[in-house]
Structure formats: C-alpha cells, structure tokens
Amino acid sequence: AIRMTQSPSSLSASTGDRVTITCRASQGISSYLAWYQQKPGKAPKLLIYAASTLQSGVPSRFSGSGSGTDFTLTISCLQSEDFATYYCQQYYSYPRLTFGGGTKVEIK
C-alpha cells in the first residue's frame, strides 16, 4: 500500500500567517493527490484535487503544488475559519486510497 506521510503533525500559527503543509508519498503518484480540511465533529471537506486544482467554492488563499512523491498545501493568509486539521489523500492506487496522518493547524 502507498503510505502518505504529512509534516508537521501540528503547527501553531496566527491569523494572517502563511502556512505550508507537506505530504510525501512512499512511491510516485503523479498528481493523483487531494487535500481535505476537517473541523472538529464535522466531515472532511474537499479543498484541492489533482495536486493543484481548487475545488469549486474554496477560497483562493488555498493552493496546492507538487507531483511524484512530494506535495504541499499552502494557505497564503490564514483566517480564523482555517484552524482545522488537514489531510492529504492519494488516489493513484484507486480505488484503494490512503490518507496522510493529518496536520492540525492551531491558533498561536
């Protein structure tokens, strides 16, 4: 199975900060990568797919990049509603999908 490793597992940031989260795949997955945001007690929400395509309705301060094994999610100017846990997910081995362990973005 393809393993997805996210770093850091948590970070503290302030509103207005630029935040970058990294996701590494155990083997090349081309651009078959999605990012999700999850708030406590809620279902995950799709942010980005195909490594860099923004899902409809997602603010443009979110962006994704990368291909192969290394990917990043960037939040250009952190807003209060962005404090959440973020997961990467590979779908290269569809339908056998795997998620990263998550990155919790907390208020500094």
Decide: is 62 part of the binding site for another protein (CB under 8 A): no
In whole angstroms, give the CA distance from residue 88 to residue 29.
Answer: 12
When the beta carbons of 32 and 82 are compared against another protein, the nearer one is: 32
Q: What share of the chain is helix, strand, coil (3-state, %, to 5)?
A: 5, 50, 50
- Closer of 1 and 77 to another protein (Cβ): 1
Stretch that binds another protein, among 16-24, 28-36, 59-67, 71-79 (CB under 8 A): 28-36
Question: Per rule CB under 8 A, is residue 39 in the interface with another protein?
Answer: no
Quick check: 89 binds another protein (CB under 8 A)?
Answer: yes
Q: How far is the CB of 23 from another protein (least distance, A)?
A: 12
